[in-house]
A and B are shown apart, each in its own frame.
Chain A
Amino acid sequence: MKMNLRYTLLSIILLALAFGFTVLPEKNLSKDLTAEAMLLAVLDDSRYVSTDQIASLLINRDPSVLLIDVRDTAQYNAFSLPGAINIPMDSLLNSLSDLYLSQGIKTKVFYSNGSIYASQAWLLSKRKGYKNVFIMRGGLNQWVETILQPTEPKPSEPTSAFTAYQFRLGASQYFGGSAKVGNSTNITKKPPVIRKKKKRVAGGC
Chain B
Amino acid sequence: MGPLIPNEIIDINWNFLIALIVGIGFGFILESAGFSSSRKLAGVFYGYDFVVLRVFFTAAVTAAIGLYYFSYFEWIDLSMIYINPLYLKSNLIGGAIMGLGFIIGGFCPGTGVCAAMIGKIDAMVFLGGIFIGIFIFGETYEFLWQEIHMDTFMGTPLVFDSLGISSALFILGLTAAALIAFFITAKIVKKVKPVDY
Which of A22, A104, A202, A204 touches B109 (beta carbons < 8 Å)? A204
Contact A21/B168 with A11-B179, A29-B71, A200-B82 known, Cβ cut-off 8 Å: yes
CB of A129 to closest CB in B, whole Å: 10
Q: Could you say which interface size class chain B belongs to? A: 20 to 34
- Contact segment of A12-20, A38-46, A69-77, A166-174: A12-20
Tell me whether A22 and B108 are in contact (CB under 8 A): no
* Cα distance, A104 to B175, chains bound together (Å): 39
Tell me whether B110 and A15 are in contact (CB under 8 A): no
Q: Could you say which interface size class chain A belongs to? A: 10 to 19
Tell me whether B72 and A14 are in contact (CB under 8 A): no
CB of A178 to closest CB in B, whole Å: 43
Nearest A residue to B78, CB-CB = A29
Asked if A31 lies at the interface with its beta carbon under 8 angstroms from chain B, I say yes
Chain A CB within 10 Å, residue with most, of B166, B168, B169: B168
Q: Chain B residues with Cβ under 8 A from A31's Cβ?
A: 77, 79
Tell me whether B175 and A18 are in contact (CB under 8 A): yes
Interface string of B158-172 (1 = CB under 8 A from A): 000000001011011
Tell me whether B172 and A19 are in contact (CB under 8 A): yes
Interface string of B41-71 (1 = CB under 8 A from A): 0000000000000001000011001001101
Count: A-B pairs, CB below 8 Å: 56
Asked if B87 lies at the interface with its beta carbon under 8 angstroms from chain A, I say no
Which of A14, A27, A200 touches B65 (beta carbons < 8 Å)? A14
Tell me whether B176 and A15 are in contact (CB under 8 A): yes
Asked if A24 lies at the interface with its beta carbon under 8 angstroms from chain B, I say yes
Tell me whether B172 and A22 are in contact (CB under 8 A): yes
Nearest B residue to A18, CB-CB = B175
* Cα distance, A80 to B56, chains bound together (Å): 58
Which of A7, A11, A18, A200 touches B171 (beta carbons < 8 Å)? A18
Q: Chain B residues with Cβ under 8 A from A21's Cβ?
A: 65, 68-69, 72, 168, 171-172
Contact A29/B179 with A14-B61, A21-B172 known, Cβ cut-off 8 Å: no
Chain B contacts to A: CB under 8 angstroms: 8, 19, 56, 61-62, 65, 68-69, 71-72, 74, 77, 79, 82, 84, 108-111, 166, 168-169, 171-172, 174-176, 178-179, 182
Query: Can you list 30 A-B pairs with a CB-CB distance of less than 8 A?
Result: A11-B179, A11-B182, A14-B61, A14-B62, A14-B178, A14-B179, A15-B172, A15-B176, A17-B175, A18-B61, A18-B65, A18-B174, A18-B175, A18-B176, A21-B72, A21-B168, A22-B166, A22-B168, A22-B169, A24-B168, A29-B71, A29-B72, A31-B79, A104-B8, A202-B82, A202-B84, A204-B109, A204-B110, A205-B109, A205-B111
